[in-house]
C-alpha cells in the first residue's frame, strides 16, 4: 500500500468528471487499498478517487471512530433521496481546515459495486448519507465549497492559495539549504 497525494482546492483536476470503472482486478484492489490508507492517514472519513487524481468512479468511506468498517463504492449512484433535508457542517481533505454547513437530503439509497464488481444497495442516513453524497459530488467534479456563497468560496480559495504559496516557498528554502 502507498499514501497518495491529495489534490487541494482550487486545483482544476478536482473538477474533472470521473469515468465509470469497467475492469475489476488487482489494479482496482490496489487503488482501493491505497485510497483507504490515505484516507485513514489524513485523517478523514471519506475519499473519492478524483481527490487523488484518479478520475474513476471509486469512493472509500469509514465513518467509525475505530476505523474498522471500510466501505467501498464503485460506480455509485443515488437511486432514492428523501425530501427531508439536513444541514451538516462538512469538511474535506481537499479543502483542509475549512468547515461549513451544506444542506443535503437526510437519507439516500445508493446502488454501487464493490471492489470485485458485485452489485449492492445500501440505505444511508446520518453521517454516512452526508459522506456518500459529498464523495459522489467529487466524482462529478464538484467540491463542497461550491454550495457556499461566492464570497465565502472566494475567501476560501484565496486562503488556500496563500497557504500553498507558503508551503512552496518553505520547500524551496529547505531544498536550497540542503545544497549549500
Tens of pLDDT along 33-78?
A: 999 999 999 999 999 999 999 999 999 999 999 999 999 999 999 9
The residues near 120 (Cβ < 8 Å, ≥ 6 apart) are 111, 112, 113, 114
> Would you name the residues annotated as active-site residues?
135
Other residues' Cβ atoms within 10 Å of the Cβ of residue 140 = 13
Q: Annotated binding site for Fe cation, which residues?
A: 92, 134, 138
Q: Annotated binding site, which residues?
A: 92, 134, 138
Q: Which of 122, 6, 125, 16 is nearest to 72 (CA)?
A: 122
Q: Is the pTM of this model over 0.85?
A: yes
What the block records as the C-alpha cell of 87 is 444541514
- Domains parsed from the chain with CATH numbers: 12-148 (3.90.45.10)
Tens of pLDDT along 131-146?
A: 999 999 999 999 999 9
Q: How far apart are CA 64 and CA 126, in angstroms?
A: 12
Amino acid at each position: 500500500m502507498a499514501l497518495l497525494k491529495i489534490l487541494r482546492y482550487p486545483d482544476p483536476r478536482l473538477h474533472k468528471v470521473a469515468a465509470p470503472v469497467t475492469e475489476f482486478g488487482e489494479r482496482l484492489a490496489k487503488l482501493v487499498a491505497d485510497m483507504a490508507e490515505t484516507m485513514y492517514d489524513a485523517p478523514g472519513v471519506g475519499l473519492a478517487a478524483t481527490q487523488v487524481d484518479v478520475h474513476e468512479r471509486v469512493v472509500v468511506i469509514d465513518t467509525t471512530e475505530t476505523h474498522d468498517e471500510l466501505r467501498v463504492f464503485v460506480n455509485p449512484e443515488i437511486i432514492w433521496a428523501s425530501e427531508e433535508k439536513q444541514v451538516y457542517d462538512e469538511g474535506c481533505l481537499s479543502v483542509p481546515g475549512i468547515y461549513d454547513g451544506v444542506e443535503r437530503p437526510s437519507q439516500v439509497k445508493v446502488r454501487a459495486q464493490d471492489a470485485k464488481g458485485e452489485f449492492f444497495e445500501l440505505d444511508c442516513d446520518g453521517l454516512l448519507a452526508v459522506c456518500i453524497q459529498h464523495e459522489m459530488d467529487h466524482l462529478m467534479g464538484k467540491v463542497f465549497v461550491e454550495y457556499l456563497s461566492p464570497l465565502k468560496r472566494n475567501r476560501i480559495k484565496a486562503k488556500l492559495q496563500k497557504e500553498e504559496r507558503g508551503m512552496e516557498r518553505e520547500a524551496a528554502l529547505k531544498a536550497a539549504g540542503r545544497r549549500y
